[in-house]
C-alpha cells in the first residue's frame, strides 16, 4: 500500500481522501464517490481519444459521446451531484463529500460534463435556483438541471477592471417592458457552441445611483437575441477550448423582456454575493484530480526503462526523487486546504467560509500549475507536445488563476480582512504588558527592565 | 470576528482551530485547550522578561520562575499532556487534541517546560515508557514524568552522517556486566544544565553483525559518569540556548552497568522506530503557535501610527497587504498539514502516519522560518534586534529544519516511497489503454488514432 | 531618461545595453544594432497582423511578407549577422555585438527569419560551415546562407533519453555506397513546411563500438527521400508553430548516398561538440527582447486609465510596483548573464565559455517564462487570450527550457563540474589550518583552541 | 582548471573575475587585487581564531591583531582602497577595480578593517571628504583616513519610519553657538567600543520648514559629549557584533558647538544624497566573497568521505549536485549585477548608477542569504553551530537586507521609477499601430483585422 493511501476498504476511489474527510462521509456518499470513480475510470479517461476525434470532426457542439454518457449518468443518479443540500433537487451530498467526487471528475477534463457538474453550469444553476421566481425556474433552470441546454455567466468586460464588479459598465436601459443592452463582454461560453441556450448578464442599469452596490442588474439573455454578436472566440493560451469556448461579444441594442430580470433591478450584487458559495472552489477540487493525473504520468515516465539519461532512470536521480516528494506533499496540502474550505461551508455556511474559499482559490491553482509544469519538465521536450495531456492540464490550471479575477485581487481581499484583526492583537499585547507589570515586581524584575523598548514585550 | 476565526463559544484559545478539528475535540479536551490558553496567556508570555532576567543572572539551570510554574501546572493537571492515550499516565488527549494545546504552548518558547511537554523530554518519555522494564521505568522514567529531572537523546555524531543512523559509530563494548563507551556526540542538552539527569545514547555494539539494523544498542548514561566530558556548548545560530543548551561530548572509557541497556543489545533500531511517533511533530505543532506570535507582531507593527514611510502605515502598502495574506494562508495550510498528521496517527496508528508525519516535518519548519523572516522584514532593522522576540523565534524554526536530520533526508525518504507507487499507476494507465481498445471501435475511432504515441493515452 | 537606460546618443536601440557592453561594441557594430532596431521596429512588429493573416490563410510555407523582407534585409546587409568572425561569410560581429542585435530581433518572433538569424538555421549553418567538405558546402550550406531553403536538426528521439546523446538509436546501416536509415525522430521543422530542404540527422551507425562516443554518425537527409514519413506535427503547448512546426518522423529504410555523411562515420560527437558554441545561447539573447516586449505591455496595461480595480490603476498598487521592479531587475540580471557568456566566448573561445553558456541556458529561459507569466497576470483574464501576444511569448520561453535538453540536465552538468573544484578548496582550507598553526602560537592562541573541531577553521 | 575560473595568469585572486571586468582592470589594479588576495589568504582567514580569542578576552575594542595588521597594511599601501579617484587621498582604483578587491576582503569578516575599508567608515569618509570644510577635515576626517579612530552614522530612529528620512525627528535646536540635541537613535557602532570617536548625526532642526527636504541638519557629535547615553547594545540575530556593536542611544540635551554642522543647517539631504554613491554597494561586493567562502565550505563538506548518508557522499546526491549548480550560477549572476553597478558609476557617475546600485542592494543580500542558508543545510545540524563560520556569514547577509532600509523600500523606488517609463512604451506601441495602418492595406490586411482589440497589436 502506498504510504499516502489510507482507507477502510482499499477502494482506489477513496485512496487519496484524508482520514478526517473519510470519517465525515456518509455511507451513501462513499457509495457515490466509488461510483464516480468507476465512471471516470471506465467511461471517461479511456474514451478521451474518442472525444478528441469527435471535437476534431465537428468543434462547436457537445460531442455525441458525452451526450450519450450524460444520459446514462442521469439514469444512474450520477447527475447534478454538486447541488447543495439546501436545494430540493440536491442528491444530498455535503460540500465535503462533493469535493471527493469533484476531485475524481477532475481527472478527465470533460468528465464533469457527463455528470452535469461542470463550470459554469454549477455556479449558474446555484444562482438560478436561489434567485429566480418559479416561472423563471421552469423556463431557464429546469433545462439546465436536465442537462438539455447550456448557459454562460457574462460579467467580465474588456474595457474596465471588471474584477472589481462595481466597474461593470455594459448598459441596460429600460424601454417600457423591454430592456435594451449595449456593451462588450468577454468569456463565458462561445455562441458558436450549438448547445448554448442563454447568458446570465450583469450590466449597469442605474449608473447615477449614489449607492455603487445598487447600480447593477442581472438579466437573462437568450442566445439568439438580435444585436448580440460574437466577435471572436477567445483562445486561452492558444487553445480554442471547444466546444464551450470563450466568446467575445458585442451587445448592440439587444432587446429582452423585463421579465428576464433576476431578483429585481439594481440587485445584481445580491446575486453576485449569492454566487460566492461552493461553486467558487469547484475549480480547486477538480484541479486536485487533474494534478494527480499529471503526477501519475510523471511517475510513469520516471520509471520508464527506455528513458535513461546517463544510464539511470529518471526515478533514480535523487533530484527527481526530491521533486516528486515536493509535488506529492504540496498536492496533499492543497487537498487539505480545499477540503477544509468545503467543510467550513458545511459547518458554518458560505459566508463564514469566505476566507477558506479565498485561501483555496489563491493557493490551489498556483500550486497545481507549478506541479503540472514540473511534471512536464520530467518528460523533457515531449512533455509539451500532444504526446501527453499535460499541456491541456497546465493550461486549465493556469486559466483558473485568472478565471474569477486575478489571484492578486483575492489575496488583497484576504490581506485587508487580516489587517482588521491587528487591533485585537495590539490589545492582547497590551494585556501582556499590564500583566507583566503585576508579575515583574513579585519576582524582582523591575518594569525598567523593558523600559524604552516599546516593542520588546509584545 | 476575524475572518479566519470560527468557533462555537468565541474563546480565543479556540480561534485558530479548523472546524473539522474542533468537531473532533471532546468537551474535556476543549476545556484543557482553554486552560492551556489561559495559562500561556497569563502566566507565560507576560513573564518572558522574568525568565530572561533569571537566565541572565544564572544560565545553566531551570529558571526558578519556570520551576514554580511547573509545580502549579502539575497541581492543576496541566502536565504531561502530550502522553498518548496508550500510556497509563496519559491525561487522555488524542494527538489531534494535543496538537491544539501544543500550538498554544508554542507561543512562548519555555511554556512547554512549565507543563512538562518540551523536547526532548516528550520523545524520551515516550521511548522509556514503551521500551523500559519496570525497574528502569521506576528509576529513570518516573522522575521525568514528575518533572524532577531532565534527559538528553544522544544520537548525532560529528564524524559521520548520522542522519542515516546505521552510520552511528560511538563504540559500546562489553566488559562483563559493564559497558564501556567511547566516541563523540553532539546536541541533546548541555551537561552544564544542572537539572540534566542522564543521556539516552545510541551506540554501536556489534559492528560486524551482518545485519546493519542489529549492530546498535541504546543505553542510559547518567550525567556524572566519569569519562564523559562536555567539550563545549554548541551555539545554534549564535544562541547558546541556555538553560538546555546543546552539548558537544567526548566519551572516553565511560563505564555503565549493563542493566542500563534498554530493550536489549542490538535492538536500538526497534527503539528508534518506536520513537518515530507523535513526538516527531510536536515541533511542528509548536512552530504554528510560534509563527502566529510572529504574525501578530508583524500586524501590530503594520498598524503602528508612528511608522509611516512615505506617509502611509506599513499596513497601507498593498504589497504588505498581499504579504500578510500570503503568510496567513501559508500558516493556515501548515496547520492543516500538521493536524492531519496528528489525526492520521489517531485513526490509523503511528506507522500509517509515517508519510503525514514526514510531510509536516518537511513543510512546517520551512514555512515557519519563511513566515517569521518576512515578519522580521516588516520591522525593518529593528526586527533583527532584541527589540522583538523574532530572532529567537526564527532561530528555533530554522533549527528544526535540521534538528531531526536535514529536511532533504526526509524528502528523499518520501520520494523513494512515492516512486514505489509508480508501478500501480502504470498498470492503471494500461487499463485505460485496454478499455480504449474496447470503446474506440464502437465509436468509430480506430486504435490507430493513438498508434505511435506510447505515452499519449496515459 | 528612464533610470536603466544609459547610452551615448540616446538611440532607443542602445537603451538597454549595459555600459560595459556598449563600450566593447565597435562603431560599425553600433551602426548595425541601430539598423536592426529600426528594421524590427518599423518592418516587423507593426506587421505582425499581416504575417498572422498570411499564416492563417496558408500555414505551411514561409509567409510572403517574410520572404519579401528577407530579400530587402539581404540587400541591406542585415543577413546572417550571427555568423562568427571565424567564418569568411561573417559580417564581422563579435558574439557580444550579435547579442545586442539578437535581443532586438527577439522582440518579434519572426524578425530573426527576415535576417536569416533564426533557429535552427543558425546552429545548422555553423555546423555545416565547420564540418562539411567543399562539395557539401556548395550543395547544402550555400542555399541556407542565401536564405533560399531551410533545414532541420534531427536528434531527439521519442523512445530513449536522447538528452544524453549516447542513447540515440536511430540506426544507420551501410549498403555499399548507400546508407539505410531506420528509426523515429522528433522536432526540428515539419516536413509540411514547403520551404524545408533537408535534415541533419544524428544516428547510430556502429552500436557495438566499445567507445560510446564513436558509435554515431551525422548525415544529411533530403526532405523528399522515400521512406521518410512525417507522422504528425507536434504541437508545443497546443500551438502548431506554423510554418516551421515540429515534426514527428518515422524513417523506414530511408536510403541516402554515403557522400551525405558529414565529417566521417562515427564522428557525430565531434560535430555535436562543435555545435556547442554561440548558437546555444541565441535563444537566450532573443528571450531578452521577448521579455522586454512582455514587460512593456505589462507597463502599458499598468497605466491604462480604463482599468481601475478599487479606483486605482494597476500601476498604483504597491504590490504591482514591487512586481514591476522585480521583473525589471531579474531581466537586467539575465541580460548580464547572457552578455557575459557571449563575451567569454569572444575572449576565451567556445570551450572556455562552456560554463557561462550553461548558466545562460539554465537561468534565462526560467526567468523569462516567469517574467512573462507575471506580465500575463497583470492583464487578468485577457492576458491569456489572443488579445495580447503574451501567450505566444510565454510558450516560446517555456519551450526553450526543454528545447536543447531539459534544464535539469544542464544543471547537473554544471554541478558535476563544480564538484571537481572541491578538492582545491579543501587544500586551500588545509593551508589556512597550517598557517594558523604558525600564527596562533605567536599570539598566544594555542592550537587547542580549535582542537576537536575538524571543520571549524575552514 | 575549474570551469568558471578564467584568467590570464591563473593567480587565484583573479579566478572569479569575469572576463570583461578583468579586461578593464589596469595592470596596477591587478597587482593590488593580487596583494589583497594574498593578504586575506595569509594574514586574515588563518588568523580568525586569534581574533575570536581576543574578542572573547576583551570585547569592546579593536582586537590587537587587527591593529597590528592595520599598521602593516598601511605601510604596504593596502589602505583606504575604496576611496574614489575623485579624492586626492585615493589610491586610484576605479569602483570596478575596487569591487574585485572588496569581494576578496569579504571572505573574512574583519579583513576590511585591516585595510580601513570597512563599514561604516567607508561611507563616512566619503561623506566627510565631500562636505566638510578644511578645519573639519583636519579634525575629523584625517584620523579616520589614518585608521586611528572610528565613527558612526547615526540616522535610524526607533520611533519613526526612518527608512523614509523625512520622518527623522531627533531634534536639534540652536542655543547661540551651541546646538542642543534630543532624541533616540539606533545602530551605528556601540559607544562601548573604545575606539569610537564620534557620530555623524542627522536630526531635525527646522520642523516647520515648508520644504520637507530642508528641515534636517547633519552634525558631528563627539562620543563623550554629556547627555549622550547608550541604553544597550543591539544584538543582530542574537549576535552582539563586538567590537563595533550597534548602540541604542538616548540624546538628552546633548550640547555641541555649531561649528560641528556639516555643510550648513537644513542641508542634511544634500549630504544624504552625496552618500548615495559607491559606499552603498560595498556590502554587496563583500557579500560575494562571503558567499564564496560559504560555498567552498559546502563543497568541502560535500566531498567529506566520513559523511555518507545511505552510503553516498553528499556530493554524490544528484539533488545536491543541482543545488550546488544553482548556488554557483546565482552567485555568479550576482557578481555580474554588482560589477555592472560599479562600472556604471565609473562610466556615468553615481547618479546615473542609481538604478544599478538599487538592483545590487536588493538582489545581492537576498541571494547571499539564500545561498549561505543552503550551505548550512548541507552541513546538517553542524551547519548552524560554531563548528562552521556559516551562522555569522548568514547573519551578516541577512542584516544587509535591512541595514540601509528594508529591501522593499528600495524595490518600491525602482518600481516607481520604472512606471515613469510606461508612457514612452505606450507611445511606441501607438507608433506600431500607425505603422500597421500603413502596411496592412498594402498587403491586403484590413485594419478591421484588429479592430475591437485595443490591446492586440501592442
**Cβ contact, residue pair A402, C384, below 8 Å:** yes
Judged on CB neighbours under 10 Å (0-12, 13-18, 19+), A56 is exposed
Of the candidate ranges A289-303, B148-162, D20-34, the one whose mean pLDDT is the lowest: B148-162
Residues A162-182, mean pLDDT to the nearest whole number: 94
Residue B458: pLDDT band with limits 50, 70, 90: very low
ipTM: 0.94
Domain range enclosing C377:
276-419
Q: Where do the H-state alpha helices sit in A15-107? A: 19-24, 27-39, 48-57, 64-75, 95-105
The least confident of B185-194, C441-450, D366-375 is C441-450
Q: B412 — contact with chain A (CB < 8 Å)?
A: yes
Distance CA C351, CA C31 (A): 29
Quick check: helix, strand or coil at residue D22?
A: helix
Pull the grid cell for residue C196: 524545408
Q: Does a structural domain hold residue C88?
A: yes
- The verdict on D259 and D288 lying in the same domain is no
State whether residue D65 sits within 8 Å of chain C by CB: yes
Contact D46/C355, CB-based, under 8 Å? no
Residues D394 and D373 both lie in one domain: yes
A452 and chain D in contact, CB less than 8 A: yes
Mean pLDDT of all residues in A333-354: 96
Kind of pairing between the strands at B261-262 and B216-222: antiparallel
Query: For residue B125, is it within any domain?
Result: no
A214 and A344 share a domain? no
Q: What pLDDT score does B272 carry?
A: 87
Alpha carbon distance B382, B359 (integer Å): 33
Q: Is residue C133 part of a domain?
A: no
Q: Are residues A168 and A235 in the same domain?
A: yes
pLDDT grade for B164, boundaries at 50, 70 and 90: confident
Residue C457 has pLDDT above 50, yes or no: no
Q: How many whole angstroms separate alpha carbon D272 and alpha carbon D218? A: 9
> Would A453 be classed as within a structural domain?
no
Q: How far is CA A40 from CA A37, A104, B432, in A?
A: 5, 7, 10
Find chain A residues with C-beta within 8 A of B23's C-beta. 347
* Residue-wise pLDDT tens digits, B90-109: 899 999 999 999 999 999 99
Which parts of chain D have pLDDT scores under 70?
1-9, 447-458
Domain co-membership, C284 together with C173: no
Among A228, A256, A246, A254, smallest CA distance to A136 is for: A256
CB–CB contact C319 A412 (8 Å): yes
> Which of B257, B272, B287 is the endpoint of a domain?
B272
**Is it the case that residue C152 has pLDDT exceeding 70?**
yes
What is residue A280's three-state secondary structure? helix
Lowest mean pLDDT among A42-46, A88-92, B228-232, C328-332: A88-92
Position D277 scores a pLDDT of 82
pLDDT of residue C452: 40
Q: According to DSSP H, which parts of D148-278 are helical?
A: 268-274
Residue A184 scores a pLDDT above 90: yes
How far is C19 from A93, CA to CA, in rounded Å?
A: 65
**Per-residue pLDDT for C1 more than 50?**
no
pLDDT value of residue C275: 73
**How far, in Å, CA of B279 to CA of C430, rounded?**
41
Given this model, what pLDDT does residue D38 score? 97
B319–C contact, CB cutoff 8 A: yes
Q: Given 3-state DSSP classes, what are the helix, strand and coil percentages for chain B, each rounded to the nearest 5?
A: 55, 15, 30
Chain A contact for B308, CB < 8 A? no
Mean per-residue pLDDT of chain A: 92
Question: Which ranges in B137-181 belong to alpha helices (H)?
Answer: 142-145
Task: Report chain B's mean pLDDT, rounded to a whole number.
Answer: 92
Q: Are D200 and D153 in contact (CB under 8 A)?
A: yes
The pLDDT assigned to C297 comes to 95
Who's near D396: CB < 8 A, 6+ residues apart? D109, D287, D290
The CA distance from B330 to B162, in Å, is 32
In B96-157, at which residue ranges do the beta strands (DSSP E only) sit?
A: 150-154
Determine whether A211 is exposed, middle or buried from the number of CB atoms within 10 Å of its CB (0-12, 13-18, 19+).
Answer: exposed
**Residue B89 domain flag:** yes
pLDDT in tens, B284-310: 999 999 999 999 999 999 999 988 998
Q: Which residues contact B396 (CB under 8 A, 6 or more apart)?
A: B109, B287, B290
Place of cell 551507425: C205
Which residues between 155 and 194 in chain C have a beta carbon less than 8 angstroms from any beta carbon of chain A?
156, 158-161, 163-164, 167, 186-187
Search chain D and give the residue with CA nearest C441. Answer: D50
Do D320 and A318 count as a contact with CB atoms less than 8 A apart? yes
How many angstroms separate the CA atoms of D83 and A171, rounded? 67
Segment B393-452, tens digit of pLDDT: 999 999 999 988 899 999 999 999 999 999 999 999 999 989 998 999 999 987 654 434
Whole-number pLDDT of residue D458: 43
Residue carrying the nine cell digits 572569479: D16
CATH of the domain at D334: 1.20.140.10
- What is the C-alpha to C-alpha distance for residues B380 and B357, in angstroms, rounded to an integer? 35
Cα pseudo-dihedral C280, C281, C283, C289, rounded to 10: -170
Task: Reduce the DSSP state of residue A427 to 3 states and report it.
Answer: helix
Question: How far apart, in whole angstroms, are the C-alpha atoms of residue A370 and residue A330?
Answer: 10
For residue D41, CA distances in Å to A55, C435, D44, D108, D118 come to 70, 9, 6, 9, 18
**Full DSSP string of A48-63:** HHHHHHHHHH--SS--
Q: How far apart are CA B329 and CA B393, in angstroms?
A: 19
pLDDT at A383: 93
User: What pLDDT digit, counting tens, does each position of A140-168 carry?
Assistant: 999 999 999 999 999 999 888 888 899 99
pLDDT digits (tens, 9 = 90+) for C279-313: 889 999 999 999 999 999 999 999 999 889 989 99
What local confidence, expressed as pLDDT, does residue A297 receive?
A: 95
Do residue D407 and residue B377 have CB atoms under 8 angstroms apart?
yes
From the CA of C95, how many Å to the nearest CA of chain A? 27
Is the pLDDT confidence value at A188 over 80? no
Report which of D340, B371, A310, A200 is spatially closest to residue C334, judged by C-alpha positions: D340
Q: Is the pLDDT of residue A453 over 80?
A: no
Task: Answer yes or no: do D83 and D205 share one domain.
Answer: no
Length of chain A, please?
458
Please say if the pLDDT value at position C449 is more than 50: no
D452 contact A CB<8A: yes
Least confident of A414-418, B330-334, D269-273: D269-273
Asked if D302 has any chain C CB less than 8 Å from its own CB, the reply is yes
- pLDDT tens digit string along A266-276? 999 999 887 77
What is the chain C residue with the closest CA to D445? Answer: C50
C-alpha distances out from residue D14 to C346, C353, D19, D22, Å = 19, 17, 10, 8
Question: Is the domain of D22 the same as that of D52?
Answer: yes
Question: How many Å apart are CA D344 and CA D340, to the nearest integer?
Answer: 6
- Nearest Cα to Cα of residue D245 among D184, D189, D185, D186: D189
What CA–CA distance (Å, rounded) separates A85 from A427?
A: 41
Mean pLDDT, rounded, for C195-201: 96
- Top residue of B347, B419, B444 to mutate, by most chain A CBs within 10 Å, is B419
Residues A301, A231, single domain; the answer is no
User: Of B67, B99, B118, which marks where a domain is finished?
Assistant: B118
- Residue A130 lies inside a defined structural domain of this protein: no
Assigned C-alpha cell, A80: 447534478
Residue A288 shares a structural domain with residue A415: yes
B225 and chain D in contact, CB less than 8 A: no
- Same domain as C437, residue C408: no
Same domain, B458 and B366: no
Q: Is the pLDDT assigned to residue A2 strictly greater than 50?
A: no
Residue ending a domain, choose from D66, D97, D118: D118
Cell of B284: 511542528
Which of B315, B325, B456 shows the shortest C-beta gap to A411?
Answer: B325
CB of C325 less than 8 A from some CB of B = no
**Which DSSP string do the residues of D334-373 spell out, in sequence order?**
HHHHHHHHHHHHHHHHHHHTHHHHHHHHHHHHHHHHHHHH
Domain count, chain C: 4
Name the CA dihedral angle for D389, D393, D398, D402, rounded to a multiple of 10 degrees.
Answer: 130
Say what percent of chain C tops pLDDT 90: 82
- Report the sign of the C-alpha dihedral through residues A347, A352, A354, A360, in that order: negative
In a domain? residue B317: yes
How far apart CA A161 and CA B239 sit, in angstroms, is 51
pTM: 0.95
Q: What is the CA radius of gyration of chain C?
A: 25
When pLDDT is averaged across residues C346-360 and rounded to a whole number, the result is 95
Average pLDDT, integer, range B313-327:
97
Do both D223 and D346 map to the same domain?
no
CATH code: domain of residue A191: 2.40.110.10
State the Cα–Cα distance between residues D108 and D293, nearest whole angstrom.
8
Place of cell 563500438: C209
Which residues from chain A sit within 8 angstroms of residue B439, using beta carbons?
Answer: 46-47, 50
For an interface test with C, the pick among B233, B452, B455 (most C C-beta atoms closer than 10 Å) comes out as B452
Task: For residue C338, give the C-alpha cell.
Answer: 547572457
> Would you call B250 and C452 a contact, using CB atoms and an 8 Å cutoff?
yes
Closest CA to A249 of A221, A229, A235, A219: A229
Burial class (CB in 10 A: 0-12, 13-18, 19+), B68: middle
Report yes or no on C140 lying in a domain. no
Amino acid at each position: 500500500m502506498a504510504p499516502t493511501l489510507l482507507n477502510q476498504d482499499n477502494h482506489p476511489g477513496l485512496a487519496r481522501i484524508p482520514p478526517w474527510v473519510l470519517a465525515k462521509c456518509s455511507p451513501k456518499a462513499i457509495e457515490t464517490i466509488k461510483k464516480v470513480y468507476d465512471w471516470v475510470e471506465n467511461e471517461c479517461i479511456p474514451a478521451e481519444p474518442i472525444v478528441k476525434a469527435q471535437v476534431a470532426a465537428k468543434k462547436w457542439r457537445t460531442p455525441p459521446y458525452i451526450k450519450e454518457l450524460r444520459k446514462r449518468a442521469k439514469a444512474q443518479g450520477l447527475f447534478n451531484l454538486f447541488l447543495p443540500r439546501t436545494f430540493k433537487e440536491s442528491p444530498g451530498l455535503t460540500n465535503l463529500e462533493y469535493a471527493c467526487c469533484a476531485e475524481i471528475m477532475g481527472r478527465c477534463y470533460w468528465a464533469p460534463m457527463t455528470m452535469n457538474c461542470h463550470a459554469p453550469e454549477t455556479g449558474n444553476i446555484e444562482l438560478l435556483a436561489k434567485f429566480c421566481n418559479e416561472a423563471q425556474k421552469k423556463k431557464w433552470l429546469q433545462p439546465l438541471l436536465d442537462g438539455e441546454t447550456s448557459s454562460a455567466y457574462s460579467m467580465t468586460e474588456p474595457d474596465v477592471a471588471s474584477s472589481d464588479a462595481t466597474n461593470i459598465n455594459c448598459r441596460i436601459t429600460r424601454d417600457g417592458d423591454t430592456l435594451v443592452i449595449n456593451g462588450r463582454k468577454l468569456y463565458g461560453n462561445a455562441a458558436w457552441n450549438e448547445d448554448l441556450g442563454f447568458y446570465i448578464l450583469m450590466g449597469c442599469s442605474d449608473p447615477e445611483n449614489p449607492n455603487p452596490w445598487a447600480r447593477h442588474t442581472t438579466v437573462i439573455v437568450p442566445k439568439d437575441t438580435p444585436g448580440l454578436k460574437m466577435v471572436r472566440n477567445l483562445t486561452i493560451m492558444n487553445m480554442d477550448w471547444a466546444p464551450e469556448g470563450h466568446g467575445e461579444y458585442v451587445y448592440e441594442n439587444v432587446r429582452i423582456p423585463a421579465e428576464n430580470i433576476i431578483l429585481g433591478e439594481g440587485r445584481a450584487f445580491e446575486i453576485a454575493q449569492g454566487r460566492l458559495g461552493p461553486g467558487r472552489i469547484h475549480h480547486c477540487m477538480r484541479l486536485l484530480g487533474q494534478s494527480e493525473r499529471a503526477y501519475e504520468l510523471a511517475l510513469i515516465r520516471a520509471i520508464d526503462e527506455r528513458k535513461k539519461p546517463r544510464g539511470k532512470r529518471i526515478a533514480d536521480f535523487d533530484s527527481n526523487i526530491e521533486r516528486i516528494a515536493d509535488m506529492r506533499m504540496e498536492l496533499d496540502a492543497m487537498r487539505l486546504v480545499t477540503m477544509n474550505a468545503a467543510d467550513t461551508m458545511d459547518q458554518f455556511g458560505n459566508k463564514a467560509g469566505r476566507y477558506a474559499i479565498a485561501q483555496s482559490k489563491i493557493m490551489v491553482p498556483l500550486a497545481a500549475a507549478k506541479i503540472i509544469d514540473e511534471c512536464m519538465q520530467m518528460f523533457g521536450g515531449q512533455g509539451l507536445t500532444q504526446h501527453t495531456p499535460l499541456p491541456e492540464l497546465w493550461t486549465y490550471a493556469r486559466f483558473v488563476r485568472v478565471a474569477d479575477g486575478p489571484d492578486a485581487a483575492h489575496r488583497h481581499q484576504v490581506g485587508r480582512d487580516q489587517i482588521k484583526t491587528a487591533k485585537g492583537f495590539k490589545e492582547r499585547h497590551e494585556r501582556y504588558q499590564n500583566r507583566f507589570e503585576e508579575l515583574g515586581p513579585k519576582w524582582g524584575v523591575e518594569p525598567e527592565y523593558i523600559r524604552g523598548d516599546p516593542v520588546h514585550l509584545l
